[in-house]
Amino acid sequence: MKQRPIGMFDSGVGGLSTLRDVRALLPNEHIIYYADTGNCPYGGRSHEEIVALAERVTHVLLERGVKIIVVACNTATLHAVDYLREHFSIRFVGMEPGIKPAIAQTKTGVVGVMATQATVAGERFQRLIARYAGDVQVVPQACPGLVELIEAGELQSATTREAVKRYVEPLLKAGADTIVLGCTHYPFLRPLIADVAGPNIALLDTGAAVARQTQRLLATDDLLNPQSEPGSIEWLTSGDPADFAKLRQCLEIE
């Protein structure tokens, strides 16, 4: 069991930002990463569609013998992780927008959250705000089109900059001094978002926290891989493997 891989999945390449954090913390673990690029993006899909897609990918990863599954997608976590935990016996590590740490550090009392449409509309997202916000104003900002631009490899294009500006400016006008990157795709735009937002705005994502939780659960279950050499990575996709490989190269993740 200890030699079995960690399973990870996302609607596309967004979860690779989380994979980097998992790889940095657990370099000796084998990983199977599933990019559901054939059904990307999840952000505009219904709750029922997202649950069905997450369940299908889970079956694929279980057939590969994974020992834990990281749902490296905020949208899939918010809509499907409760269902997955109820219907499968394997451990799941989910991702939620980092609202709690953002609230803890804001000085202006206003936190912005950039996320997909499905995340912002989800009941679990609203529960997160209700649970942690207190007196802090949380301003959700749906960002349709950003995932598609990242999947196209447009990390610095004029079109992407204009889209980022369109979504960041309302958060700045609302007085946010902290912006949560509530989609695993968005860290790949961190330099661009930081440039648009300015030097006084903190950007938060939860990739490192997810890596730590994965490590904790594996340690609790005595499933950490004891090998000393680097673990392998197996790439799976529901889309075109050549396109997926080309985009990984663009994102400098091999």
Model pLDDT for residues 190-247, shown as the tens digit of each residue = 999 999 999 999 999 999 999 999 999 999 999 999 999 999 999 999 999 999 999 8
Domain boundaries, the chain: 6-95+207-250, 99-204
Distances in Å between the Cα of 157 and the Cα atoms of 2, 37, 41, 71, 104 are 43, 21, 20, 29, 34
Other beta carbons within 10 angstroms of residue 134's beta carbon come to: 9
Query: pLDDT: is 44 or 179 the higher one?
Result: 179
Per the prediction, the chain carries an average pLDDT of 95
Residue 252's pLDDT is what? 78
pLDDT tens sequence across 165-195: 999 999 999 999 999 999 999 999 999 999 9
Residue 254's pLDDT is what? 63
Answer yes or no: 183 catalytic: yes
Answer yes or no: 73 catalytic: yes
Give the pLDDT mean for 113-139.
93
State the pLDDT confidence band at 5, using cuts at 50, 70 and 90.
Answer: very high
Most confident among 58-62, 132-136, 153-157 (mean pLDDT): 58-62
Residue 98's pLDDT is what? 93
Architecture of the domain whose range is 6-95+207-250: 3-Layer(aba) Sandwich (3.40)
Query: Which is nearest to 50 in space by CA: 71, 33, 68?
Result: 71
pLDDT over 80 (residue 253): no
Is domain 99-204 annotated with CATH 2.120.10.30? Answer: no
Q: Is the separation of the CB atoms in 133 and 103 below 8 Å?
A: yes
Give the pLDDT mean for 53-77.
97
Residue 15's pLDDT is what? 93
Taking the C-alpha atoms of residue 169 and residue 121, their distance in angstroms, rounded to an integer, is 21
Give the pLDDT mean for 95-112.
95
Residue 250's pLDDT is what? 81
Q: Is 184 exposed, middle or buried (0-12, 13-18, 19+ CB in 10 A)?
A: buried
Whether 6-95+207-250 shares its CATH topology with 99-204 is answered: yes
State the pLDDT confidence band at 249, using cuts at 50, 70 and 90.
Answer: confident
